[in-house]
Amino acid sequence: MRRRPVDTGDPDRLYTVTGGRHRAGESLDLVTLLVSECEPTAGMQSEHARILELCRHPTAVVEVAAELRLPITVVRILLADLLDAGRVTARHPRAAPSLAGLPDSQLLKEVLHGLRNI
Amino acid sequence: MGSATSELPSLRLPLTDRAETGLKIVVVGGFGVGKTTLVRSVSEIRPLNTEEVMTRAGVGIDEPDPASRKSTTTVAFDFGRISLNDRMVLYLFGAPGQERFWFLWDRLFAGTLGAVVLVDTRRVDDCWYAIDRLEHHRTPFVVAVNRFEQDGVRYSLGEIRQALALPAHVPMVECDARDRQSAKDVLITLVDHLYDMAMAQEATP
């Protein structure tokens, strides 16, 4: 499962994939689930088309990155494009945890139940 | 690490269309301690590898190789997946404990439920830094001691707790990262701990 690292030594490649953009709103969580709202179309940027294929079923940001073999940062930018265009929708993780950083006990109970049943 | 053969399906095993809530647990530990093995033992997909890049400017005190002109550096990590029910899916990340990784913590692992510090008793020192950083980020964690067959000396959990100067409230558990039930028990120990903390917090007005 070791794979060739992406060409981080060649920032030009990353620049090309993202069109050189760098903007806010790319703070998608690693485990935000994405769902395609349309099929890829002819002439679409290949990375966008690939994402739309992958996300026919809910797929996390980190899974998209692994499949596309691109760094998380780059994938967040690609996904922001598709979100802006309404081509994918995002199912965000539940609201930020409480002050002490803990999720509520009900959610944890469900996690425990799930883990015991796997 | 990452060398065992696996019968697990690849990522293409899709989630149900009702999946809506992604959750994170991070396994940290030194090189070769068995992070990927533990992830693989409980994952429903073959663990995948991905990475994040950061610019040198974002690195702060990291020291890039002076011989290199690279303007970016890379942190790689593995992850697996557990569908808890048809709505909730838990992603389990195996992350290196090295210094540069912690610069990316907020960007990658903000909102994580908690962490497992995986310990190799032959290299206990490796996890001091991880424990220090988790405390800094106020991330709840448990310590899991991966028992290797070739362990020369078997330190007790009490001895390891002392060596790590670990507070009494942090749970410790022994495990065999290769064993599915054992790896599952580690995760249950963590979530039990989180649950107790959440209950205590909710009981406080």
Each domain of chain A, given as residue ranges in start order, spans 11-117
Mean pLDDT of B124-130: 84
Reading the block at residue A16, the tokens are: 């090309």
Q: How far apart are CA B32 and CA B148, in angstroms?
A: 11
Asked if B56 has any chain A CB less than 8 Å from its own CB, the reply is no
Task: Report pLDDT for B158.
Answer: 93
Which architecture does CATH list for A11-117? Orthogonal Bundle (1.10)
Which among A28, A31, A107 is the top mutation candidate for probing chain B, defined by the most B β-carbons within 10 Å of its own β-carbon? A31
Residue B24: name the closest of A70, A61, A118 by CA. A61
Task: Report pLDDT for A14.
Answer: 56
Look at B149 and B35; give whichever has higher pLDDT: B35
Look at A103 and A55; give whichever has higher pLDDT: A55
* The pLDDT of residue B38 is above 70: yes
* The pLDDT of residue B99 is above 70: yes
Which residues in chain A have Cβ-Cβ distances shorter than 8 Å to B93?
A: 30
Every domain of chain B and the residues it spans:
21-203
Task: Report pLDDT for B48.
Answer: 93
CATH class name, domain B21-203: alpha beta
Mean pLDDT of A60-84: 94
DSSP B34-77: SHHHHHHHH-SS--EEEEEEEEGGGTTT----TT---SEEEEEE
Q: What SS3 state is found at B26?
A: strand
What is the least distance, in Å, from the CA of B169 to any CA of chain A?
16
Task: Report pLDDT for B103.
Answer: 82
* The pLDDT of residue B161 is above 90: yes
Reading the block at residue B138, the tokens are: 């106020």
